[in-house]
Copies of this chain bind each other. A is one copy, B any other.
Amino acid sequence: MKPLEYPEPVKHLILQLKQLPGIGPKSAERITVWLLRDRAESVMQSIAQSLMLADQEVGECGVCGFFATSTGCAICDRSGRDSSVLCVVEQATDILPLEKSGAFQGYYHSLRGRISPLENVGPADIRIDALMSRLRQGAFAEVILALNSDVEGEATANYLMELMAPLGIHVTRLAQGLPAGGGLESADELTLLRALEGRRSM
């Protein structure tokens, strides 16, 4: 006797959801069952519509890499930004927290990833050409590399540093050290090493 299975459309939806980041087989099944049970509010229809709307309307800004719509890019189109500083981030989502900090008023360049040989991501895959051509136009006096402080982030930063050296632009990196409110007892050795190396006189 063939074992009992979910109907095809249910299995198919579980498979589709399983490919999302952070969603395993169990979560995909739980979400599917929840969706099928709470039909009254037609959650499935509205999620499906949001997906299609986002797919149709949202693109990548050709200049900075942030999300853009047909009405333009909320960063590049905004007047009053500081056109002498460019902040390079790994991905578009890194831009919002930097904006929220209120400490940066310049322009952004999202790389769409970082160099990672293990994941087959090389320099050609992460919008470095676009970055270099922006810099060669000569308006930026400083480039801030706001990359993650893990191995791939460091490697990408070093690669960019070498590439930018001939341009004579001032290149800086985000400070590393204790997180705000973080105690010494919860900091790992590398963080403490960096915090010591980067110590400042009071």
Contacts and interface: CB of A to CB of B under 8 A. Distances in A.
Interface string A62-106: 000001110000110000100000000001110110011000000
Nearest to A19: B43
Query: For the side of the interface on A, what is the size category?
Result: 35 or more
Chain A interface SS verdict (over half)? helix
A120 interface: no
Nearest to A7: B69
Contacts of A4: 74-75, 95-96, 99
A46 B51 CA distance: 10
Given A30-B22, A37-B112, A45 B54 contact: no
10 contacts: A3-B100, A5-B96, A9-B50, A9-B57, A22-B27, A22-B31, A30-B93, A35-B55, A44-B52, A47-B48
